[in-house]
Amino acid sequence: MNNLDKSPESSTLALQNAFFRLRSNKAFELFVVGVIIFSALVIGARTYELSPGLIRAITILDWAVTFIFLFEITVRFLGEPDKKRFFLKAWNVFDTLIVVVSLIPIDNSDMALIGRLVRIFRVLRMVSIIPELRVLLDSLFKALPQLGYVMLMMFIIFYIYAAVGATFFAEVNSVLWGDISISMLTLFRVMTFEDWTDVMYETMAVYPLSWIYYFSFICLTAFAFLNMVIGIVVSTLEEEHARVAKQEADDAGVPTMLDLQAQIAELKVLLEKR
């Protein structure tokens, strides 16, 4: 009799565990990734000139994808052990907004453009599904404060060189060096090596030593500062990977390398005391 009369709490817990197992299932994750890729293909197909029949078929498929996303976000929410914390994660809020807005029938209204844009951004849900992509994006966001200082220094260098270029080279080619803003665009072209030698040889015809100007600018920007940007991003990515690995180890109860090193240090201190 007791086995038949299950409490509502136990039934709810069993249902939550079932949804948790489903959302943690690799096959389910791969299915969602496949649906996201298919959604991207549907979005791409809309950019071509299609027959009315294909347009109707694509519309039906688009709605099917939307309802699959609704089912997936529902499974993730119901499978969350602490539902109050579900919307504290930015990616969960993003996914929910994308799905909710996709459900609003605005294709034939003045908001049709917004509806198309929202469907385009559904491709970004790939980031929320694949952990490695989340780590990459989180690392980029965390590196932004340090990158900001590097970008500020690059802007200062750009501004100084643009002012010098506009002062000396405006008479050579006013299209490329007419004012400081155009000069900065020209310097960006030089930094990205887009036919920069043509720009240099043109000024060298009037100022033979102007190659020093370009050489020093490229060394500062393309070599020094861009390598600094790469170094900051790589360093932040390594820190983020270490943080994720530590969090996974803590969740699984497995000691990390830092924990083992701390334990070894403690043992050394105890042995020294003896």
Q: Would you list the DSSP string of 3-70? A: TTS--HHHHHHHHHHHHHHHHH-HHHHHHHHHHHHHHHHHHHHTTS---HHHHHHHHHHHHHHHHHHH
Highest mean pLDDT among 3-7, 28-32, 121-125, 200-204: 200-204
- Of 5-9, 92-96, 181-185, the one with minimum mean pLDDT is 5-9
Do residue 152 and residue 196 come from a single domain? yes
Do residue 27 and residue 110 come from a single domain? yes
d(CA 228, CA 235): 10
Average pLDDT in the 149-165 region?
A: 92
Highest mean pLDDT among 21-30, 70-79, 203-212: 203-212
Would residue 23 count as lying in a domain?
yes
pLDDT category, 39, cuts 50, 70, 90? confident
> Of 129, 154, 170, which marks where a domain is finished?
129
State the CB neighbour count (10 A cutoff) for residue 189: 15
Average pLDDT in the 171-198 region?
A: 92
Per the structure, the complete domain to which residue 12 belongs is given by 8-129
Whichever domain contains 153, its CATH number is 1.10.287.70
14, amino acid identity: A
Of 59, 155, 141, the residue nearest 107 (C-alpha): 59
pLDDT category, 271, cuts 50, 70, 90? confident
Looking at the structure of the chain, the number of domains it has is 2
Q: How confident is the model at residue 214, as a pLDDT?
A: 94
Average pLDDT in the 196-214 region?
A: 93
Average pLDDT in the 225-236 region?
A: 85
Instruction: Flag whether pLDDT at 269 surpasses 80.
Output: no
Whichever domain contains 24, its CATH number is 1.20.120.350
Do residue 164 and residue 80 come from a single domain? no
Q: How confident is the model at residue 1, as a pLDDT?
A: 45
Q: How confident is the model at residue 259, as a pLDDT?
A: 60
Would residue 140 count as lying in a domain?
no
Would residue 93 count as lying in a domain?
yes
Average pLDDT in the 259-263 region?
A: 65
Do residue 100 and residue 186 come from a single domain? no
201, amino acid identity: Y
Contact 20, 81 (CB under 8 A): yes
pLDDT category, 4, cuts 50, 70, 90? very low
Do residue 21 and residue 87 come from a single domain? yes
Do residue 116 and residue 199 come from a single domain? no
Q: How confident is the model at residue 6, as a pLDDT?
A: 53
